[in-house]
Amino acid sequence: MASTIQVDNIKDIGGNTIISSDGSGTFTSNLPASAPNVSTATGTLPIANGGTGAATLAAAGLANTPAFHVYKSGNQQVSNNTATNLTWQNEFYDTDNAFASNKFTVPSGKSGTYMFFWLIKGGSQPDSTAMQGWLQKNGSDLDSQLSRSKDYISTVNEIHLTGHYTDVAVAGDYYEMRIYQNSGGALDILSEGSSFWGFKLIGA
């Protein structure tokens, strides 16, 4: 059960008003402006050190952005025994318009530590077909995972490949995905379920 506390003044032990409200959403702070992490702002609650930003995490700079999440518009054929870069035509979101030409590029002023994730689904293949995926940075391999099909239910099954990686990046670094498979023929990377996403970590 939810509970509500309603007051018009918050006072210290000496009876001095610290924060007061007019009942319409306007707050007045009586704390000294020179004290750390406070201000004498009227209308907003102080968040940043000496700041007057709105009382939201984003206003205080606590947002995991830039962030992106992309997916395919259709199946993509990957040739046998050939490393192929994946294409991503659709976006669930792209907060800084930083995803283009099938890659995410760190925007100017957005250096930091980023976390990347991927889910790649390959079409049905015979038992023991291998599919390997790489996260690439500036055209060079960073991390890879390997998955093999297994005939648990039938003689052919989809191959699912998942992974994640954390990397320190500077403006201009770009990240993309590529796939290798050894089925003996072309392998479809399925649009249904395949996606690539990432975001900048707060404070890292």
Band the pLDDT of 54: cuts 50, 70, 90: low
pLDDT above 80: residue 143: no
Residues 29 and 127 in one domain: no
Residues 113 and 51 in one domain: no
Residues 28 and 78 in one domain: no
Band the pLDDT of 46: cuts 50, 70, 90: very low
CATH number of domain containing 108: 2.60.120.40
Band the pLDDT of 76: cuts 50, 70, 90: very high
Residue pLDDT, tens place only, 128-139: 678 888 999 999
Residue 95 DSSP label: T
**What is the mean pLDDT of the segment spanning 87-104?**
97
**What is the mean pLDDT of the segment spanning 81-105?**
96
**What is the mean pLDDT of the segment spanning 110-126?**
90
Which range among 81-95, 156-170, 189-203 shows the weakest confidence by mean pLDDT? 156-170
Residues 83 and 116 in one domain: yes
Domain count, the chain: 2
Domain that holds residue 194: 67-200
- Is residue 62, in this structure, part of any structural domain at all? no
**Structure confidence at residue 6 (pLDDT):** 76
Question: Distance (Å, rounded) from C-alpha 2 to C-alpha 138?
Answer: 51
Answer with the residue of higher pLDDT: 175 or 153: 175
- CA triple 52-95-178, angle to 5 deg: 145
Model-level pTM?
A: 0.69
Going through the chain in order, the beta strands assigned E by DSSP cover 9-11, 17-21, 27-29, 67-71, 76-78, 84-85, 90-94, 99-100, 103-105, 112-126, 130-137, 140-148, 156-169, 174-181, 187-189, 195-200
Residues 112 and 151 in one domain: yes
Domain C-terminal end among 56, 86, 102: 56
